[in-house]
A and B are shown apart, each in its own frame.
Chain A
Amino acid sequence: MFNGVRGIYLRETLILRKKLVKTVLASAVSPALFLIAFGYGVGQGAQVNGHDYLLFLLPGLLTMSSMNQSYGIATEINISRFYFKVFEEYLLAPLKRWEIVVAEMFYGVTKGLIPVVIIGIYTLLCGVQLTFGVRFLVALLLHLAIFSLLGLITALLVRNHSDQALMNSFLITPMMFLSGTFFPVEKMPVVIRAVAALSPLTYSTRLIRSTLIGDMAVNNALFPLLAVMVVVLFIVAYRVVNRVQI
């Protein structure tokens, strides 16, 4: 039982361990640049809803960077499927297809935790006070599960590497900029708000930010909303994996 989950998760994490330095550096550089450009450049001295902009920005960077890492499993699955053909090993093994979904989701969640640690360090360096509590942890895990599953689904739906890159451009980049990472969505024009409403990152950013900033009201309704997204995406991922042939 769960041999598939164990085997696939072990494989993914062993490879992650071999590439840990690269992964940590990749997770560290981009948020650091955003922090410098937006936090200390454009946003210096600015306030958002009564909070210092840096306090507003850091949780956004945390959700954005962790989303990038979790969703980033898409590229890895894509390469292992089309280039190294390692994915065939999973299809040949006597395992239930849902085990592939669970294992890849766990891996995506694991990978998404790396930038969380890095942003945590940045937070200390910036002298910003964030509250890393249980509600934050639950919100974070739901957020990472959503984007891991989204990564798995897109990786299995596309037919080649360039389609994968296209998906990243059309899905992930707009989400990064329109989901409340750098500015409050509520203050944007109605068209942008409508687009943001379609992005799961909007809801997870809102929830994670509110759990991290001590005096911000947490909208508890977002917990079940994210949980429903996880369930729906899990079902979709299972159906996609079930249909996969080489």
Chain B
Amino acid sequence: MPDQENLEQMIHQLYNRHYLEVYRFLICFSGNQNDAEDLTQEVFMRVLNNSSTIPSLINVKTWIFSIAKHVAVDHYRKKRFSSLFTDGFFKQFRSLEKEPNEIVEQNELKKLVHTAISRLKPHYRAVVILRGINEFSIKETSFILQCSESKVKVDYHRAIKELRKKLDMKSVEVIENANG
């Protein structure tokens, strides 16, 4: 166990290198900054507690993300029954310093995106975020999600299709509402 002495140094390094990416994954997954921060902390606590099982330094990023995915899904399960439209997500826009009109427009769009993403099933959500936001390769994504590369490809396309459909449909609705 050569790393025991440097545990503190090691976690410091891992955290500094990866916290931003992990946070970005989690904010897109959970849609709420407070949750994303709490979950980020949880991820690195788990990294620390399982530091003896770190595979190799090459794979460490995907390993951390596989933990992040578990943390995110666990969180989703806990929260499933509470509404996705709790004030948490929308409250965070109120303090933005912009013209009221702009806020409304921007918030409409953000609401739309948020709704679309949060309606995706967790596995699809994870695939889309890992590939699109964190820019992992198909191979890396398949490692993180513990599934085959072809499943990653198929799920990614289905998820994007669904997302696009939801965004298109919703934007039509918004326009119609505006006209009416």
The answer to whether A and B interact is no
Q: Which B residues contact A (CB, under 8 angstroms)?
A: none
